[in-house]
Each structure stands twice: as C-alpha cells, then as structure tokens.
C-alpha cells in the first residue's frame, strides 16, 4: 500500500472515530434556533388565536406575528457533540451553556412549568394593556394563589379568595397587602377583607416571624376583572415575550379599520399593564424566524435594539417599540406613510 493510500485510510478512520465519538458524547449545551411564528390575528387548529366574547369586534388584515425560539437540549435531553458543532457553524442558531437556560437548582420540568405560568400572566397583562390603551375600564383584584399549611392563614384564608382590604383599608396591589402585614409585629393580628364567591368576609389572622419578618403564609398575585372575555390560544408556546403582539392583536380587533393595512408585521417584547414594553432573549433567532415567515417589519423592544442591529436579516425593517402606544402609532405611520417611525438605528 502506498504512503498516500495509507494516509487517506488512517485519516478516514480518524474521521469515522471522531464522528462516532461525537454522536455518543453528550455535552451540557443548548441549541437555540428560530421557532415557529403565529399570527395573533389568525387561527391555530381552526380556532382564533385571540377570541373576544361580549364586545363588538372588527375585521382585520395582514399579520401581527409573535415569534418564538426553539431549543434542543436540557438536563433531561442533552445534545451530543456533533449537534453542538453543527450549531456553532450555523449562523442562524446559538449554542449556549445549559445553565444559562436551566439553572442548576431547577429541573427542566420546573422551567417549562414556569414558562407556562409566565405565558398565562403575559396574556392577562396584555389584555390589561390593550384595554388601558383604549380607555376601557376594568378592575384589578388580589387573588390568593396558595396558603402555607404551617402558617396562621391555613384553614382561614383559601386559595382563590380575593383580598379587598387590610385592617379596613382597601387594597388593589399585592405590595400594599405585604406592606400592611410587615408593618405589624410578629404575633399581632391582621384583619383581611375577603370576597369568597358571592360572600364578603372579615377574617382575622395572627402573624408569625419568618426570616425576621411578620407573615401570615399567603401567596398572592394581581388578577383582572375584565368587562368582556378575551381568550388567547397559542398551543404550547411559553414565556412572556409575546405580550406586545397580544396587546396589538386585541387593540386591532376592538377598533374599526385594519391596523396593519395588510402589512406583514412581526415583533416581540414583554408587556406591562401600563403599556411598557420590555426586552426579551433570543432576538437573533426571532428575527430570522420572522423573516422566514414573510414579515417585512419587526417591532423591537428598545432594550434589544443594539443586538438586533447586528443580526437583522435582509428585507426586515426594525421599528423600535418602547410602549404599546408608540408601537401602535408607528404602525399607523407605516400604513399611512405619514409621521415619524422610530428606528433602532436612531
């Protein structure tokens, strides 16, 4: 056998060995890639993404697409070395250490469950933001999420109760309840105004010390009582980053005339009830996913603009979105051709 043939044979053997080894060796990384997009004005499995009942709605056109990031890997399904290498080569995906997505003290199931809760909360906040934008009143209530079995509230306050007052003072924020309880000394009593079903109650609970502060053992969150029903269907999508697009979709359905003018618009960003848009992760992958879905305009949280400018694909225009109102006005300016459209580049 010639030296050339022997060299090729050995090289081929080494490549084969490395390939087999790479396919067998798991590595603690996660591959992030462009995920599916959904038009908030459209349907999923023949059901509207946004369904509004009890209020007049209007026809829409074009698209207001939410974007997602798909991932491979995790504590219970680690990727192999070859998958990681392919990801490092592909400019449309990112390979990140596993702990950046899944904290060492949390399981993959816990992270996925948290994403589901965040999506539910995001939908409620998006509805609240849309109604605030349209000056439609609604009520905010404080709902009991859980009651610690070993704390004084157990057996007195129940999951699902609405806290309306503390020591006779009306409350509308969870922070107000917490501050009122912490203002007591451990062992002192606190009287809660509670709505349970159709019944209004006064329930007195003693406080106990926990981590140096008085507590009663109740976990709460703010929930909303809207004047009509808004149902959002996004399948298995999780996390809070679709908030802005949900809000815009709701606003579009509740106002006369198609907001988009038929344009293909995508975007991302968390939303607060006051309309503030927050930054999100995975912006490079979301930009690619948006462009692949046919979008030509991308609503970008101000906090993601610098990163987005480095990764924007050809044919996609970045529009800076700081609030729901500014995003709405930007779309109106794009459709009409009049007015300033805020840009990530200045």
Neighbours of 33 (CB within 10 A): 18
Together in a domain, 157 and 199:
yes
Does residue 241 have an active-site annotation? Answer: yes
- Domain carrying residue 215: 139-225
Confidence at residue 101, expressed as pLDDT on a 0 to 100 scale: 65
pLDDT tens column, 43-64: 988 899 999 999 999 999 999 9
Together in a domain, 122 and 161:
no
Average of per-residue pLDDT across 237-246? 84
Together in a domain, 175 and 154:
yes
Q: Which of 122, 165, 253, 286 is catalytic?
A: 286
Confidence at residue 12, expressed as pLDDT on a 0 to 100 scale: 47
Distance of CA 318 to the CA centre of its chain: 20
Longest dimension (CA), the chain: 96
Residue that wins the pLDDT comparison between 94 and 245: 245
Together in a domain, 271 and 312:
yes
Reported confidence tier of residue 332, pLDDT bands at 50, 70, 90? very high
Average of per-residue pLDDT across 25-38? 80
Together in a domain, 238 and 200:
no
Residue 189 tokens read as 């009593």
Residue 217 tokens read as 């053992």
CA distance 74 to 54: 43
pLDDT tens column, 194-222: 999 999 999 999 999 998 899 999 999 88
Confidence at residue 80, expressed as pLDDT on a 0 to 100 scale: 74
State whether residue 48 is helix, strand or coil.
strand
pLDDT tens column, 63-112: 999 999 887 776 667 777 777 777 678 777 777 777 776 666 655 566 55
What is the residue whose two structure tokens read 């996925």?
A: 112
Reported confidence tier of residue 322, pLDDT bands at 50, 70, 90? very high
Confidence at residue 4, expressed as pLDDT on a 0 to 100 scale: 52
pLDDT tens column, 263-321: 999 999 999 999 999 999 899 999 999 999 999 999 999 999 999 999 999 999 999 99
Is there a domain that residue 9 lies in? no
**Phi, psi angles (nearest 5°) of residue 42:** -105, -150
What value, to the nearest 5°, has the Cα angle with vertex 340 and ends 336 and 346?
A: 140
Confidence at residue 122, expressed as pLDDT on a 0 to 100 scale: 81
CA distance 189 to 98: 46
Confidence at residue 181, expressed as pLDDT on a 0 to 100 scale: 95
Write the CATH number for 282.
Answer: 3.30.230.10
Together in a domain, 71 and 160:
no
pTM for the model stands at: 0.79
Together in a domain, 267 and 131:
yes
Neighbours of 135 (CB within 10 A): 6
Together in a domain, 188 and 271:
no
Reported confidence tier of residue 21, pLDDT bands at 50, 70, 90? very low
* Average pLDDT value over all residues in the chain: 86
pLDDT tens column, 128-151: 999 999 999 999 899 998 999 999
Confidence at residue 135, expressed as pLDDT on a 0 to 100 scale: 97
Count structural domains, the chain.
2
Q: Which of 63, 122, 241, 247 is catalytic?
A: 241
Whether the per-residue pLDDT at 236 is higher than 50: the answer is: yes
Confidence at residue 18, expressed as pLDDT on a 0 to 100 scale: 46
CA distance 179 to 197: 26
Residue that wins the pLDDT comparison between 13 and 182: 182
Write the CATH number for 160.
Answer: 2.30.42.10
pLDDT tens column, 176-196: 999 999 999 999 999 999 999
Together in a domain, 164 and 144:
yes
Does residue 286 have an active-site annotation? Answer: yes
Is there a domain that residue 101 lies in? no
Is there a domain that residue 3 lies in? no
Sheet containing 29-39: give its strands across: 94-97, 29-39, 63-72, 264-267, 297-301, 317-321
């Amino acid at each position: 056998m010639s030296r050339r043939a022997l060299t090729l044979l050995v090289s081929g053997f080494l490549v084969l060995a490395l390939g087999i080894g790479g396919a067998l060796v798991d590595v603690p990384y996660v591959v992030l890639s462009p995920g599916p997009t959904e038009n908030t004005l459209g349907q999923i499995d023949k059901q509207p993404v946004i369904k509004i009942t009890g209020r007049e709605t209007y026809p829409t056109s074009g698209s207001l697409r939410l974007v997602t990031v798909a991932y491979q890997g995790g504590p219970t399904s680690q990727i192999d070395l070859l998958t990681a290498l392919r990801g490092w080569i592909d400019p449309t995906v990112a390979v990140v250490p596993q702990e950046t997505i899944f904290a060492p003290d949390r399981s993959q199931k816990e992270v996925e469950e948290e994403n589901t809760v965040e999506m539910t909360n995001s939908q409620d906040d998006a509805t609240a933001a849309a109604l605030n934008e349209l000056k439609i009143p609604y009520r905010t209530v404080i709902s009991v999420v859980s009651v610690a079995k070993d704390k004084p509230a157990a057996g007195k306050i129940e999951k699902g109760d609405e806290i309306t007052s503390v020591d006779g003072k009306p409350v509308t924020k969870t922070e107000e309840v917490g501050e009122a309880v912490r203002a007591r000394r451990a062992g002192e009593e606190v009287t809660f105004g509670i709505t349970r079903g159709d019944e209004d109650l006064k329930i007195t609970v003693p406080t106990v010390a926990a981590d140096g502060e008085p507590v009663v053992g109740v976990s709460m969150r703010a929930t909303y009582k809207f004047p009509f029903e808004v149902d959002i269907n996004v399948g298995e999508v999780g996390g809070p980053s679709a908030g802005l697009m949900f809000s815009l979709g709701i606003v579009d359905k509740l106002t006369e005339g198609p907001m988009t003018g038929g344009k293909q618009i995508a975007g991302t960003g968390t939303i607060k009830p006051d309309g503030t848009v927050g930054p999100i992760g995975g912006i490079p992958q979301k930009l690619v996913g948006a462009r692949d879905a046919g979008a030509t305009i991308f609503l970008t949280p101000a906090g993601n603009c610098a990163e987005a400018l480095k990764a924007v694909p050809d044919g996609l225009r970045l529009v800076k979105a700081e609030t729901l109102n500014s995003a709405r006005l930007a779309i109106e300016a794009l459709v009409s051709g009049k007015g300033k459209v805020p840009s990530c580049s200045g």
